Amino acid sequence: MSYNLLKGKRGIIFGALDENSIAWKTAERIHEEGGTFVLTNAPIAMRMGKIKDLAEKTGSEIIPADATKVEDLEALVDGAMEKLGGKLDFVLHSIGMSVNVRKGNHYTDMNYDYTTKGWDVSAVSFHKTMQSLYKKDAMNEWGSIVALTYMAAQRVFPDYNDMADNKAYLESIARSFGYFFGKDKKVRVNTISQSPTPTTAGQGVKGFDGFIAYADKMSPLGNATALDCANYTVSLFSDLTKRVTLQNLFHDGGFSNMGVSQAVMETFMDE
């Protein structure tokens, strides 16, 4: 169902890899709600994914950019404004990567070059993106910037590894930059802390199926899907949330406020 919530709004969507990704689902929903956008991803991710199909489906242009390179981001922001015909109203940052996780390095035995690469891609890229937008005055007043995160930033999930640190860093950047973006440009900045979601990126984490099953049993409403997250993101890009900023918004079926659930207890009790 469409409500025309984003009619006339323009933006950039980072990180749509394939139809499982939250960014992909969000792009589809933004398109249905009347928004227009430029899609972007790192050149290597673009070769792996199916972003061209999404561009075709939504009538969007693609501008490749390495989100760790300021010159790429500046070219992306300029290109997006040129192609879309004006300043931007929304930006979705949906990228993250841990080389330590990929290489199977335990948290107590990290390769710090990999660690640096991980936080550059997963967190500092968000600062670089916002700095490029801010310096170029590329956002309309009451625009909205959202990054995706996970509750491992607050609580221990042993196999989430250094991605937990990356997400904590990401959330801090959202608050700190969000203050200046709000005060100086009337732009809001939030993070969505999503349920574990079976995306191509998420499934790289060891024991991920267990994460998903456990979270589902713990949450009174069950896990939020990628499509649910897309809908929530649309609400944050709309004018209905104009005063929501500097928030880390838990979108997890209630998981974040649970201590234990009946369903989880039952798995530990003798029949």
* Residue percentage of the chain with pLDDT more than 90: 90
Convert the pLDDT of each residue in 134-146 to its tens digit: 999 999 999 999 9
Q: Check the CA dihedral 39-40-46-49 and report its sign.
A: negative
Check 3, 160, 169, 179 and give the catalytic one: 160
Whether residue 271 is predicted with pLDDT greater than 90 in this model: the reply is no
What residue numbers does the annotated binding site cover? Answer: 15, 21-22, 95, 167
Q: Check the CA dihedral 69-238-46-78 and report its sign.
A: negative
CB atoms within 10 A of CB 113: 10
125-139 mean pLDDT: 98
Find the DSSP H helices in 186-225.
208-218
Active site residue 160: yes
What residue numbers does the annotated binding site for NAD(+) cover? Answer: 15, 21-22, 95, 167
Q: How many CA atoms lie within 13 A of 205 on its CB side?
A: 25
Residue 188, exposed/middle/buried by CB under 10 A (0-12, 13-18, 19+)? buried
Tokens describing residue 154? 């607050």
Model pTM score: 0.97
Convert the pLDDT of each residue in 165-178 to its tens digit: 999 999 999 999 99
Check 112, 114, 150, 214 and give the catalytic one: 150
Question: Which has the minimum average pLDDT: 15-19, 199-203, 217-221?
Answer: 199-203
Domains and CATH numbers, the chain: 10-268 (3.40.50.720)
- 131: pLDDT confidence band, cut at 50, 70 and 90? very high
pLDDT: is 268 or 139 the higher one? 139
CB 235 within 8 A of CB 29: no
